[in-house]
Amino acid sequence: MAAAATATPSSLGVLLRGGLYFLDTTPPDDAECLSVGVLHLKLLSAFLLVFCLLWAKCLSTGVLHLKLTVFYTGCLLWAKCLSTGVLHLKLTVFYTGCLLWTHNCLSKFSLLLSKLNITIKISMSNLRGSVGYIVTSCLLNENHDFLRLAINAVRNDIIGRNETFQCLALTLVGNIGGREFAESLAPDVQKLLISSSCRPLVRKKAALCLLRLYRKNPDVVNVDGWSDRMAQLLDERDLGVLTSSMSLLVALVSNNHEAYWSCLPKCVKILERLAKNQDVPQEYTYYGIPSPWLQVKTMRALQYFPTVEDPNTRRSLFEVLQRILMGTDVVKNVNKNNASHAVLFEALALVMHLDAEKEMMSQCVALLGKFISVREPNIRYLGLENMTRMLMVTDVQDIIKRHQAQIITSLKDPDISIRRRALDLLYGMCDVSNAKDIVEELLQYLSTADFAMREELSLKAAILAEKFAPDLSWYVDVILQLIDKAGDFVSDDIWFRVVQFVTNNEDLQPYAALKAREYLDKHAIHETMVKDFNNSNPSFHVCEDFDAHSTTRQGAAKSNLGNIQQQRAVEYHALSMKGAALMDILSEMPKFPERQSSLIRKAEDAEADTAEQSAIKLRAQQQTSNALMVTDQRPANDTQAVNQPGLVKLPSMSNVERSNAEQGATHANGALTVVDPQLPSTPSPDLLGDLLGPLAIEGPPGTGPQIEPTLASDLEDGANADALAIAPVEEQTQTIQPICNIAERFRALCMKDSGVLYEDPYIQIGIKAEWRAHHGRLVLFLGNKNTAPLSSVQALILPPSHLNMELSLVPETIPPRAQVQYPLEVINLKPSRDLAVLDFSYKFGTHVVDAKLRLPAVFNKFLQPITVSAEEFFPQWRSLSGPPLKLQEVVRGVRPMPLSEMANLFISLRLMVCPGLDPNANNLVASTTFYSEGTRAMLCLVRIETDPADRTQLRMTVASGDPTLTFELKEFIKEQLVYIPVPSVAPNPVPPPNPMTPQALPTSPPTAVSDPGALLAGLL
Amino acid sequence: MIRGVIIMNDQGKPRLIRFYEFQLIFGCCWSILIRGLRLACGEAAGAGSKHLQNRAENVSNFVKVDSLFGPSYDHQLAGCAACVQNFCNIYFVFIFDNSENELAMLDLMQVFVETLDKCFSNVCELDIVFNFNKVHTILDEIILGGQVLETSSSDVVMAVEDISKLEKNSNSIIPSIPGWQGR
């Protein structure tokens, strides 16, 4: 095998395979590893080389299976190399491999670690140096099992005599900082830190190590009584130890400053010592500045104390600060500049924090003003950033306003980071007096701004315009200009908002209409403008000719608008989900993001289907007008409405109807909705939900039939038909509608393993599944989306006879905004296509919601794709001769699809398509393994013969070693190919329809008949 | 706290990645981060050019990480900033949260680079590629668990030499392990 290095590639492959096998099965014991390694040093390096090549090749071909094996072997090799000391390649290979592949092979990795363990044991016990430590600290998670094994070795090093090892061990612990480490090592580390016999090198590491352990597990590390020790540590002369101790102090003080008052004067002393440059060793002087890091850290620590009470300390502190503020100049040397300004900026922050005398504050602002016009970009950046911070802390706006011109110039800075800071600052300093100037500047800047910034810019401009508008017509002007200039970047909120304002203010309408018209008459208008225009439309009665405009524009825009609009909605949704981080957005428009996000979430879930699309639009309008009724002109005033979204809808019911009536009259494609005005206590029904789930439409029986014809004629397409046909299985909600298409969700989940199963305004049920052979593990995630708890939560599994299912206990209530998980174990006993049903109910307020959901523990989840070669396939195929083991059927009414699509479908059903087995290109051969407790692993073979002339029919042959399995698999594939709505063919344990919606059932037959899918199903 | 250290070459290939919160490596999609950083570094250069251009004189070293990911991306580095500096054709990136002073980070980077220079005598990309374990050791002597450990580069060099001495010794120990001659 030593010849490997010189052999030709092909023979290499053979050799290698043998070698890999050999290595893979080697028993992992120390002596073996070592001796084999040392003996076959040359062999191993040859292997390593080949391994690298192979690995690179695998990477490019993407054969995952192979990659793992190779990686695994590579690691093994490494383990051996480490012991042999083939220094050059070992780590590079291992390390790259790990970093790239840990993702995919964590499970393999942990196996491997038992072997790695040996290596590290060796390297630690035999003084093998830092390699083991480095690898461990780079690659291992604090929760990794391996660390438990290593604790003892690490501890021995920490309490041992050798300082280098102490350092290595402390570095490892400090970088990982796991719980087990904290429990067993924290006392030792503390001892090291305060021991006087240790070298500073060890002590400073001990300080940081302790800090890390404390940060990660504050409950485990005991720091009671550490205030005296900290004070002692601060007397330290060595600046390295002092820097680390100061970091530790920052962490301790930030948690509980009361206990550490005694440290405050010491900090000031240290600061004094540094500022006066007394007794600072040469190596800690950085470009002439005495340890800027320690100065910065000390001032950070001081910022955690609320005030400095002792007059003497206070005086000396201010002296030092004054000295820093006055004594810093911009110099030639960049590094010196950075260091001195680091200290200076920290001093500024401290002054701000201490809320010093007026004089000192204005001195600070003056300094900042100087900074923002300085040549050095970093200092400009920080000047702007600190000015923004200063706005929040103190009342210095007037002084800052003097620099407004300079800040506006910074908007044109060559550096985008600086431009962003300038924008933030302008946004923060804006008030009634300067709003007009600033907004106009922003608008002007908008046309030249980077694309990356435009969205933020337009949002900020819109918020400012709204917040500080001197009169509303100006506001409308601004927004229209905004949309004109940055159409793509204007988020939906902005135009919703302007529509809302205009609708609320009748006096404003003529003006707004006129303005909007002007813009519309321009040639290149943006679609957002059209949207804006459309949505304002119902309220712009004043202009008759608008309707004409609107309808033409709408028609042109609608076709391409849909997807784009949805896209944007999704993007914005994510933005608004960030919540606290986007403080500025949310604080200024408290109402909008909140309401908007729920709206968008619904829109996101809806199909990109034209009929539904118009429903979304319609509802968007509806929602807007809903909000109008309760919205005061000042957004800040309606925080009450935010907290009670339910209330917003109630008074506006009549409005919904009115606008709907208008919609119905003006828009040809507007779907009609009927809301019963006599039921004011029910929340406004979700229009989209109505369209998707017609069975659950509420209202007096008299109105039901009225709706159905409209719907049936409007929604004659497959997706909807499907929803109609499946409806009996899942929809029994009374007043709360699911906001997603459950059938669609279920079907998606049949193909993948995680996703949302059900969602309504209050709850979201997600599912995550893992399947291994005939075992499955489902986890249900029940998320309460509301700010109130959900009570009486019940979940019941109705398993079919072939599945063994166990759901752990569901607690009664789900706390607000919380997500709870329920694991569910599934065992497949025998092949069957029956479905499990989850009967789920909860109570929100007075509503009881009861949903019956099919669980995606379907037939194909127990399949495992397998590739068979021609030699394996044909004997098997022949041996299974005739019924009942081999069944053949001619299937008609197949959804026409090209063969490649069918192959994809098969793959998604976990049937491995084996190309090349059948000489006829129109045929498809697939193989898979089915797992159940009854059949164990059973090979299934499928052959599909299609007719290129008539794609709607095909002949299917299914073979397996079990008659039931053959039959079930055949039916299953047929279902997928024909796409018959499930309940009409599958002998499901269909739960009895909920008696709470009696009027729902009679309406379903006519709709089912009207759709082609159901007709087809009936024929078949 | 310092969240991570990245060294990359002028084509944006990462040469060293070190995060101090382990989950970050897998959680935050560092490939996106790297791409963002690459864009940030090459901002002055035309988009799409293979090599990053040296950052222009009049551009600051700081980038907000949020702006790299775009507003809607949910990552674990929210609120963090990165400081980017190039030395010849190697880019150094420190990612840190708001409890650190920005300019101090820039200084620390300078210390790191100076130390590398001392250890490798005029450091180049290949030194980092082939001696990355040594680079890790150096970094470990400067930053520990996300905190500044040592700022005097001469002290760092001394500590690193101690460790590499140990490594050399340990390699020379191999022959004395009993059993290897037996085969």
In this predicted model, what pLDDT tens digit does every residue of A246-280 receive, in sequence order? 999 998 888 888 888 888 889 999 998 888 877 78
Q: Which residues contact A765 (CB under 8 A, 6 or more apart)?
A: A756, A757, A758, A759, A780, A781, A782, A783, A840, A853
Q: What is the structure's pLDDT at A132?
A: 57
Q: Which residues contact A457 (CB under 8 A, 6 or more apart)?
A: A423, A442, A445, A446, A449, A486, A489
* Euclidean distance between CA atoms B178 and B176, whole angstroms: 6
Residues from chain A contacting residue B77 (CB–CB below 8 Å):
none
B98 touches chain A (CB under 8 A): no
The dihedral over CA atoms of A724, A730, A732, A737, expressed in degrees to the nearest 10, equals: -70
Contact B144 A38 (CB under 8 A): no
Q: Of A376, A383, A412, A369, give the one whose Cα is nearest residue B61.
A: A376
Of the residues A81, A96, A378, the best mutation for testing chain B's interface (the one with the most B CB atoms within 10 Å of its CB) is: A378
* Euclidean distance between CA atoms B26 and B18, whole angstroms: 12
**Backbone phi, psi, residue A915, to 5°:** -75, 155
Find the mean pLDDT for residues A133-145: 61
What would the two tokens of residue A587 be? 């604080």
Contact A240 B111 (CB under 8 A): no
Q: Which residue has the tokens 């050798």?
A: A162
Residues from chain B contacting residue A164 (CB–CB below 8 Å):
162-163, 166
A103 touches chain B (CB under 8 A): yes
Of B63, B140, B153, the CB nearest to A417: B63
Q: Which amino acid is at A833?
A: R
User: pLDDT band at residue A488, thresholds of 50, 70 and 90?
Assistant: low
CA contacts within 13 A on the Cβ side of B164: 18
DSSP letters, A771-793, are EETTEEEEEEEEEE-SSS-BEEE
Q: Is the pLDDT of residue A111 over 50?
A: no
Count interface pairs A-B at CB distance under 8 A. Answer: 214
Residues from chain B contacting residue A29 (CB–CB below 8 Å):
none
What is the chain A residue with the closest CA to B172? Answer: A85
More confident residue, A931 or A1006: A931
What would the two tokens of residue A966 be? 């053959």
Alpha carbon A838 to its chain's center: 27
Query: What DSSP character marks residue B181?
Result: G
Task: Give the angle subtended at the CA of A433 by the CAs of A431 and A439, to the nearest 5°.
Answer: 65
User: pLDDT band at residue A734, thresholds of 50, 70 and 90?
Assistant: very low
Of B71, B155, B173, the CB nearest to A127: B173
Q: Which residues contact A975 (CB under 8 A, 6 or more apart)?
A: A833, A982, A985, A986
CA contacts within 13 A on the Cβ side of A18: 8
A120 touches chain B (CB under 8 A): no
Q: What is the CA radius of gyration of chain A?
A: 36
In chain B, what's the furthest Cα-to-Cα distance? 67
Contact A346 B60 (CB under 8 A): no
| Contact in structure between A284 and A291 (CB atoms under 8 Å) | yes
Q: Which amino acid is at A336?
A: K
Q: Is the pLDDT of residue A971 over 80?
A: yes
Q: Which of A43-47, A246-250, B121-125 has the highest mean pLDDT?
A: A246-250
pLDDT tens-digit series, residues A590-645: 333 333 333 333 333 333 333 333 333 333 343 333 333 333 333 333 333 333 33
Residues from chain B contacting residue A170 (CB–CB below 8 Å):
144
In chain A, what's the furthest Cα-to-Cα distance? 101
User: pLDDT band at residue A693, thresholds of 50, 70 and 90?
Assistant: very low
pLDDT tens-digit series, residues A364-420: 888 888 888 888 888 888 888 888 888 876 667 777 888 888 888 888 887 778 888
- The region of weakest confidence among A599-603, A936-940, A988-992 is A599-603
Q: What is the structure's pLDDT at A522?
A: 57
Task: Give the angle subtended at the CA of A594 by the CAs of A589 and A597, to the nearest 5°.
Answer: 120
Contact B67 A420 (CB under 8 A): yes
Q: What is the structure's pLDDT at A637?
A: 36
Q: Which amino acid is at A450?
A: D
The dihedral over CA atoms of A808, A814, A820, A821, expressed in degrees to the nearest 10, equals: 20
Residues from chain B contacting residue A286 (CB–CB below 8 Å):
107, 111, 151
* Euclidean distance between CA atoms A732 and A185, whole angstroms: 58
pLDDT tens-digit series, residues A854-880: 888 888 888 888 888 888 888 888 888
User: pLDDT band at residue B111, thresholds of 50, 70 and 90?
Assistant: very high
Contact A378 B61 (CB under 8 A): yes
**Backbone phi, psi, residue A261, to 5°:** -55, -35
Q: Which amino acid is at A320?
A: V
Q: Of B94, B147, B64, give the one whose Cα is nearest residue A293.
A: B147
Of B60, B70, B107, the CB nearest to A415: B60
Q: Is the pLDDT of residue B135 over 90?
A: no
Average pLDDT, chain B: 74
B45 touches chain A (CB under 8 A): no
Q: Which of A52-66, A135-149, A188-202, A613-627 has the highest mean pLDDT?
A: A188-202
Q: What is the structure's pLDDT at A664?
A: 38
A85 touches chain B (CB under 8 A): yes
Q: What is the structure's pLDDT at A1009?
A: 40
Helix (H) or strand (E) holding B32, with range, is helix B30-41
CA distance to partner chain B, nearest, from residue A282 (Å): 9
Long-range contacts of A656-664 (CB under 8 A, 24+ apart): A656/A622, A656/A625, A656/A626, A656/A684, A659/A538, A659/A621, A659/A622, A659/A625, A660/A618, A660/A622, A662/A538, A663/A538, A663/A618, A663/A621
Q: Which of A326-340, A621-635, A864-878, B147-161 has the highest mean pLDDT?
A: B147-161
Q: Which residues contact A913 (CB under 8 A, 6 or more apart)?
A: A903, A906, A907, A924, A925, A926
Find the mean pLDDT for residues A1006-1018: 42
| Contact in structure between A779 and A821 (CB atoms under 8 Å) | yes
Of A38, A284, A578, the CB nearest to B180: A38
What is the chain B residue with the closest CA to A291? Answer: B151
Percentage of chain A beyond pLDDT 70 is 58
pLDDT tens-digit series, residues A806-858: 777 677 778 777 777 778 888 888 888 888 888 888 877 777 778 888 888 88
Residues from chain B contacting residue A212 (CB–CB below 8 Å):
144-147
Of B149, B174, B180, the CB nearest to A208: B149
Contact A164 B163 (CB under 8 A): yes
What would the two tokens of residue A770 be? 């893992």
Average pLDDT, chain A: 65
CA contacts within 13 A on the Cβ side of A451: 1
Query: What DSSP character marks residue A762?
Result: S
- Count up the domains in chain B and report the number: 1
CB-CB neighbours of A770 under 10 Å: 12
- Which residues, numbered 60 to 79 in chain B, qualify as contacts with chain A under a Cβ-Cβ cut-off of 8 Å? 60-64, 66-67, 70-74, 78-79
| Contact in structure between A67 and A59 (CB atoms under 8 Å) | yes
Q: Which residue has the tokens 């014991």?
A: A29
* Euclidean distance between CA atoms A854 and A797, whole angstroms: 10
Residues from chain A contacting residue B18 (CB–CB below 8 Å):
138
Find the mean pLDDT for residues A463-470: 80
**Backbone phi, psi, residue A485, to 5°:** -85, -35
Span between the terminal Cα atoms of chain A, in Å: 65
* Euclidean distance between CA atoms A641 and A587, whole angstroms: 15
A420: left (phi over 0), alpha (psi -120 to 50) or beta: alpha
Q: What is the CATH number of the domain that holds B63?
A: 3.30.450.60
**Backbone phi, psi, residue A951, to 5°:** -75, -10
* Euclidean distance between CA atoms B133 and B128, whole angstroms: 9
Residue B38 domain boundaries: 2-182
Of B22, B103, B111, the CB nearest to A342: B103
More confident residue, A14 or A496: A496
Q: What is the structure's pLDDT at A199?
A: 85
Residues from chain B contacting residue A420 (CB–CB below 8 Å):
64, 67
More confident residue, B110 or A872: B110
pLDDT tens-digit series, residues B54-87: 555 667 888 887 777 665 555 667 778 888 888 8
Q: Which residues contact A857 (CB under 8 A, 6 or more apart)?
A: A769, A776, A778, A803, A805, A826, A835, A836
Q: Is the pLDDT of residue A913 over 70?
A: yes
User: pLDDT band at residue A112, thresholds of 50, 70 and 90?
Assistant: very low
Secondary-structure breakdown of chain B: helix, strand, coil percentages, each rounded to the nearest 5: 50, 20, 30
Q: What is the structure's pLDDT at A487?
A: 66
Residues in chain B: 183
| Contact in structure between B34 and B42 (CB atoms under 8 Å) | no
B137 touches chain A (CB under 8 A): yes
B171 touches chain A (CB under 8 A): yes
ipTM higher than threshold 0.95: no
| Contact in structure between A717 and A609 (CB atoms under 8 Å) | yes
Of A134, A177, A381, the CB nearest to B136: A134
Q: What is the structure's pLDDT at A460?
A: 81
Three-class SS state of A53 = helix
Of the residues A92, A204, A208, A239, the best mutation for testing chain B's interface (the one with the most B CB atoms within 10 Å of its CB) is: A208
Q: Which residue has the tokens 């909807």?
A: A720
* Euclidean distance between CA atoms A497 and A480, whole angstroms: 12
Contact A129 B166 (CB under 8 A): yes
What string of H, E and C letters represents the secondary structure of A848-884? EEEEEEECCCCHHHHEEECCCCHHHHHHHHHHCCCCC
* Euclidean distance between CA atoms A853 and A866, whole angstroms: 31
Q: Which of A198-212, A759-773, B153-167 has the highest mean pLDDT?
A: A198-212
Contact A339 B107 (CB under 8 A): yes
Q: Is the pLDDT of residue A60 over 60?
A: no
Contact A244 B147 (CB under 8 A): yes
Q: What is the CA radius of gyration of chain B?
A: 18
Task: Give the angle subtended at the CA of A934 by the CAs of A928 and A938, to the nearest 5°.
Answer: 20
